[in-house]
């Protein structure tokens, strides 16, 4: 007779964070950039427009994170995660990680185009209230 315990097998699973930090094996591309946290929405809008990505929803992850869900030209789902890498009480500029995942398996060219546009706009806005679009 083979015996085993079911004590752990029937217990409820531990709650999952609905927006986990992307791992090295997750599809998508990431950058880390120095910028003003209050300029995130402006940089995001310009970068999404540059790529012709359309927003579906945005989730506020507290003082140090945002998650945007979008669709691309071919209706592929896109997720953009933005994370403040400094304590919320620290003054701008701060280090910010941006991760873009296009579709189920990633699309490096599309992700790079978005991340490059995001970086350029965030850098143009650093330390100023307004900056011309190029």
| Burial environment of residue 47 by CB neighbours within 10 A (0 to 12, 13 to 18, 19 or more) | buried
Q: Which domains does the chain have, with CATH numbers?
A: 29-125 (3.30.160)
The pLDDT, as a whole number, for residue 116 is 97
The pLDDT, as a whole number, for residue 26 is 64
One pLDDT digit (tens) per residue for the chain, 134 residues:
444 444 444 444 444 444 445 445 568 999 999 999 999 999 999 999 999 999 999 998 888 899 999 999 889 999 999 999 988 888 889 999 999 999 988 899 999 999 999 999 999 999 888 777 76
The pLDDT, as a whole number, for residue 127 is 85
The pLDDT, as a whole number, for residue 101 is 97
The pLDDT, as a whole number, for residue 25 is 54
The pLDDT, as a whole number, for residue 134 is 67
Q: What is the 3-state secondary structure (H, E, C) of 37-91?
A: HHHHHHHHHHHHHHHCCEEEEEEECCCCEEEEEEECCCCCEEEEEEEECCCCCCC
């Amino acid at each position: 007779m083979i015996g085993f315990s079911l004590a752990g097998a029937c217990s409820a699973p531990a709650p999952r964070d609905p927006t986990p930090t992307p791992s090295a094996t997750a599809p998508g591309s990431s950058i880390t950039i120095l910028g003003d946290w209050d300029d995130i929405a402006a940089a995001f809008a310009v970068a999404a427009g540059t790529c012709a990505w359309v927003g579906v929803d945005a989730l506020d992850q507290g003082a140090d994170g945002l998650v945007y869900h979008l669709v691309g030209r071919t209706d592929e789902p896109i997720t953009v995660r933005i994370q403040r890498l400094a304590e919320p009480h620290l003054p701008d500029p701060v280090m910010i990680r941006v991760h873009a995942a296009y579709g189920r398996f990633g699309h490096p060219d599309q992700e790079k185009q978005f991340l490059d546009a995001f970086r350029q706009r965030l850098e143009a806005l650093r330390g100023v209230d307004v900056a011309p679009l190029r």
